Structure 1
Amino acid sequence: MDVLIPKKRWSWVARWWWLVVLVLAGIGVVGLYWPRPGQRLHVAASRLTISPVTRGNFQEFTAIDGVVQPLHTVYLDAAEAGTVQQVLVEEGTTLTAGQPLLRLVNPDLQLEMVNRETAVYELMNNLRNTRNQLLQNRILRQNQLADIDFQLAEARRVFDTNQALYEQKVIARQDFLQSQNAYRYQLRRRQLTQQTLRQDSVAMQQQLGTMQESVRRMSNNLALMQRKLDDLLLRAPVGGRLSSLAAEVGEAKTRGQRLGQIDALAGVKLHATVDEFYIARIAAGQAGEVVVEGQAYPLRVTKIFAQVAKGLQIDLAFTGAPPPGLRRGQTLPIRLALSAKAPAVLLPKGGFYQQTVGNWAFKLGPDGSRAQRVAIRLGRQNPDYYEVLAGLQPGDQVVTSSYEGYADQQELVLDNRQP
């Protein structure tokens, strides 16, 4: 007779043992595939940037942007206040020296000019009248002198005759003395008249000189006023391109107000801003270059502005012919040299530096399938390269892309099949 055997149930102890075994087995499986420090990591080659280590000339430089400006700029200011009556040219026009640009009108200045002209004409008329009057007085004095000379000659004749007769005792002494006194009187009279004529001549010359000097000063003032009127017609002081002209018909302009500017066509320069970090390393004459359409054009620093506002402002000029077709306001990338060129081992810059700070890098093996972590030492840097001091040699291949996600690995296995 069959006997019913009851089904055995697992005890709680057995259940916990099996649970522990399963957890440990899972951890072991995960550990086989989960990367740990010191292990290798499979990485898709397409996700990496591999750069060669080369030998070449290293130069420290900073990359800045330069704005094209004319080599010389002439500003146009209003020499006199006035209202714009006529605009004769437009912005962008190529000008010649002396070409009229705009005309201002100033009624007060014109009225003052008329008043000064009237004053000059009145003074010149007074000078003419005074000269005529002085000449008439001189002629009158000369006529008086001629009359005195005649009377003196007659008195001398009578005196000489009476003297001879008196010596012959023909006439009385009284008649002789009378003729003698008359002669002496005419002689003294002539001396006084000559002295008066000389004094009048000197006074006339002084008075005429004073009036002529007054006329000369007023004429100069009149010429200055005329130049002020001429300044109401604004002309181009130099040839060049009129880059701006702020004037509209009927607009009032004050003296000294900026009206526009002229860009000389003799050449161009680049104006740039350098980070304050490099202030101590910037000097006049410092070299740089700009590349336009694949061709390098050398530059040199010609001016360093004293005021530092959001960086150091500098001007750079082309040492040779500038690139053709440059326009004012155009921006060009500049490589400003901070040191001389010197031979060095070069490593292209990349994102790996953020994780390694230049202390190590992944270097590819001979077959290019693996990248081993190696210690390196980097020196100076520029926007393109690091200077390698130790750990790498020319010809080595280095992973230069970011190491984020596998910075703790010792070796990378490059898998070309992974996307």
Structure 2
Amino acid sequence: MDIALEKKRFTPKRIALIIGAALLIGFIIFILLSSSGSTKLNIDRERISIHAVKNGVFQENIPVNGVVMPITTIYLDALEGGRVEEKFVEDGTLMKKGEPILRLSNTDLELSLVNQETQVYNLLTQMQRTQNASRENTINKLNQLTEVKSSLREAERKYKLNKKLFEKGVVAKQEYLETKNNYNYQKDRLALTEKVLQQDTISSKQENVQVRESYEKTRKALELMRKKVEDLVVRAPVDGQLTSLDAEIGQSKSKGERLGQIDVISGYKVRADIDEHYISRIYAGQQGSFNFDGNSYQLVIKKVYTQVTNGRFQVDMTFMEEAPEKLRRGQTLQIRVALSREKEALLIPKGGFFQETGGNWIFKLSEDGKIAYKTDIQLGSQNTEYYEVLSGLEPGDQVITSSYSNYGDIQELVLKD
């Protein structure tokens, strides 16, 4: 008789499957725990920069490069074109106002001057002739007037005499009427002569005025022409140093062409280039500072040039006090231009960490200073030395400000001495 065998619950195959599944689950759990847990990196303390977060006076500023320039520059342009005939001085000479720098020649201009002078002399001669003729004509008219008056007096005398004699019957009526008609004729003649003289006087005055006006216009044109010829000698407009002189003997210069410049060396200004990103925040009256020869100097923006070239615009800055004695034209200065007023703020020194974090987080040291861990932060404005901390840190916290470029996704840094 057969005996029924009890079926085994855990066979070796089943046991192997269970063990394999348990190992797989354990491996998955290990991977998950490893990936979710914080990764650490050992690092030498000497290879990093550690700074304390602190409260301090903060002012937002930007660094700009400025070039030292004369406070005033007068440009020398050719007022008239011509050929360079003579140079009286060389580039770099200290000039006094009115001293000659160079001489140009222009034959067309000089010929025009001669023609203009001839025209003026002709008009002057014509004016003198007109005045002489007018005087002679006036004298003749006055002589005629005198004769007419004399004839009128004689005619009046005869008329009055014959009238009395006619009334007494001494003279004939015909003779009386002749003297009367002559008397009336002489009266009309006098009135006509006076009217002609008056009109002739007005006409002479108008003619003289016209001739004189024509003469004055031509004379002024002559003066202008002489001034243009005088401008062929280029002179220093102010006291200063001649720079950038671009003229050689025999060289032709066009009207309006730049010849050089005069730098007024009574003082200096600084012309700075600024990124166009800040153009809406830069205005006249803002201040800047720079260090020179161990001292700090203050500048103030006097003029803003709003034209943007290659992503940058320019400003002119002047010294609030005396400029440094050793300062020279053309020197480059590193200037900090203030964009805000001073205020109390929580500060972090600037460092390479910002390039990797964008200011969103930072490695903060533990209280014992042995571990640094990621901490979310929020930064505000910045200047050449500090970032303004808005949140995430407290005064006294120790943070790593050096570069994080080699840390990858490390969550914690273990600091080793």
TM-score category of the 2 structures, normalised to the smaller one: 0.7 to 0.9
Amino acid at match of 1:160: K
Instruction: Give 3-state SS (helix, strand or coil) of 2:336's partner.
Output: strand
Match for 2:208: what amino acid?
L
Q: Which residue of 2 aligns with 1:108?
A: 108
Name the residue aligned to 1:282.
Answer: 282
SS, match of residue 104 in structure 2: strand
Q: What is the deviation of 1:390?
A: 5.0
CA 1:40–1:247 in 2, change beyond 3 Å: closer, same or farther?
A: closer
Residue 91 of structure 2 aligns to a residue whose secondary structure is: coil
Cα deviation per residue 1:109-164 (whole Å; 9 max; x = unaligned)? 11111111111111111111122122222222222222223322222222222222
Equivalent residue, structure 1, for 2:416: 414
The CA deviation at 1:396 is: 4.8
TM-score normalized with structure 1 length? 0.81
- 2-side partners of 1:410 and 1:84: how far apart? 77
Contact 1:378 1:386 in 2 (8 A): no
The separation in 1 between residues aligned to 2:407 and 2:130, in whole angstroms, is 110
The 1-side partners of 2:236 and 2:95 are apart by: 7
* 1:180 positional shift: 1.8
Percent identity at matched positions?
43
Equivalent residue of 1:154, what SS? helix
For each residue in 1:258-286, what CA deviation from the matched residue of structure 2 results, as whole angstroms up to 9, or x when unmatched?
Answer: 11122223432222222233334333333
The farther-off stretch of 288-297 and 51-60 is: 51-60
> In 2 relative to 1, CA 132–356 (structure 1 residues): closer, same or farther, beyond 3 Å?
closer
**Secondary structure at the counterpart of residue 229 of structure 1:** helix
Q: 1:145 to 1:266 in 2, by over 3 A?
A: same
Deviation per residue, 1:64-120 (Å, 9 max, x gap)? 111122232221111111111222222222223222222111111111111111111
1:62 Cα deviation after fit: 1.5
SS of match in other structure, 2:98: coil
Q: Deviations over 1:266-313 (max 9, x none)?
A: 432222222233334333333321221232222233333232222231
The 2-side partners of 1:390 and 1:192 are apart by 110
Give the partner amino acid of 1:360.
I
SS of residue matched to 1:213: helix
Q: Could you report, residue by residue, the CA deviation over 1:319-367 in whole angstroms, capped at 9, with x for unpaired residues? A: 333333322221101112222222223222223344455423152755x
Partner of 2:11: none
Any idea what SS the aligned residue of 1:142 has? helix
Q: TM-score, normalization: structure 2?
A: 0.82
CA distance in 2, matches of 1:112, 1:323: 53
Task: Give 1:341's aligned amino acid.
Answer: E
> Does the aligned pair in 2 maintain the 1:273–1:311 contact within 8 Å?
no
The change in CA–CA distance for 1:206 and 1:410 in structure 2 (over 3 A counts) is closer
* Aligned-partner SS, 1:325: coil
The alpha carbon displacement at 1:228 in A equals 1.0
SS at match of 2:92: coil
TM-superposed CA distance for 1:371, in Å, is 4.3
* Corresponding residue pairs, total: 377
Task: Return closer, same or farther for 1:170/1:371 CA change in 2, 3 Å cut-off.
Answer: same
Structure 1 distance, partners of 2:319, 2:366, is: 43
Number of the residue aligned with 1:318? 319
> What is the rounded CA distance, in whole Å, between the counterparts of 2:224 and 2:51 in structure 1?
74
Distance 1:90 1:162, change over 3 A: same
- Equivalent positions of 1:366-381 (< 5 A) are 370-373=370-373, 375=375, 377-380=377-380, 381=382
State the Cα RMSD in Å: 2.5
Aligned residue runs from structure 1 range 145-156, under 5 A: 145-156=145-156
Identify the range of structure 1 (186-195 vs 47-56) with the bigger mean alpha-carbon deviation.
47-56
Q: In 1, Cα distance between the equivalents of 2:163 and 2:304? A: 103
Amino acid at match of 1:290: F
In the alignment, which residue of structure 1 is the partner of 2:31? none
SS at match of 1:307: strand
Deviations 1:11-34 (A, max 9, x none): xxxxxxxxxxxxxxxxxxxxxxxx
* Amino acid corresponding to residue 345 of structure 2 in structure 1: A
Aligned to 1:332: 333
The residue aligned with 1:9 is: none
Which residue in the other structure is 1:264 paired with?
Answer: 264
